Amino acid sequence: MAVFGIWLSLVPVLVLFGALIFSYLARKGYGTQWESFPLPEVLWLNTLFLLISSAALEWSRRRKGQAVQAQRGFQVAFGMGMLFLAGQAVAWSQYIKSGVIVSTSPHAGFFYVLTAAHAAHVIGGLVGLGLLAVWRRHQWKFTTVSVLARVTAIYWHFLGFLWLTMFMLLKFWR
């Protein structure tokens, strides 16, 4: 039931990001006053952080009888997620220092809105990863950890897919 619930809860997230991406494409097509700026290079590193985080999460989920190894993988996944957020802060800071703010151009505005909305959802995913990272075998029944790991993985991988879509959109459809 929990797995069905997570899929169902992803529908509004998909609608939100779908609307934002559609708006980006429609506004770009409108053409007037569209000025794009090079994206901060740290976003490539952020992408790597999310990919490593997803890989560590999946590796841990498959360690059913190996609690210590699984927990270490969850900790790596959580740490990579935190590094992703730190990298986002660096990207925003670099843009601001170079004079690119929300009102600079529609492209800049969409950059901030898309990445901030994504970061807010990443924070939600970090709650699940954080619970898995601090889990102790004697505290939870294994089935509880297994369900939490599966639900968190679905959500986290979905956010990874969203990030790749948004990053490619912002990077190559400027």
Provide the CATH number for the domain around residue 13: 1.20.120.80
Contacts of residue 78, Cβ cutoff 8 Å, sequence gap at least 6? 53, 126, 129, 130, 132, 133
122/160 Cα distance (integer angstroms): 9
What range does the domain containing 30 cover? 2-172
Please write the tens of the pLDDT for every residue from 56-91. 999 998 886 677 788 899 999 999 999 999 999 999
Q: State how many domains the chain has.
A: 1
Say yes or no to pLDDT of 137 above 60: no
82/88 Cα distance (integer angstroms): 10
Could you give the angle at which helices 42-61 and 106-134 cross, rounded to 10 degrees? 30
Say yes or no to pLDDT of 98 above 90: yes
Give me the mean pLDDT over the 145-162 stretch.
Answer: 92
Model confidence at 141, in pLDDT bands (50, 70, 90)?
low
pLDDT of residue 23: 94
Give the Cα-Cα-Cα angle 84, 79, 111 (nearest 5 degrees): 10
42/28 Cα distance (integer angstroms): 24
Please write the tens of the pLDDT for every residue from 20-45. 999 999 988 786 777 888 999 999 99
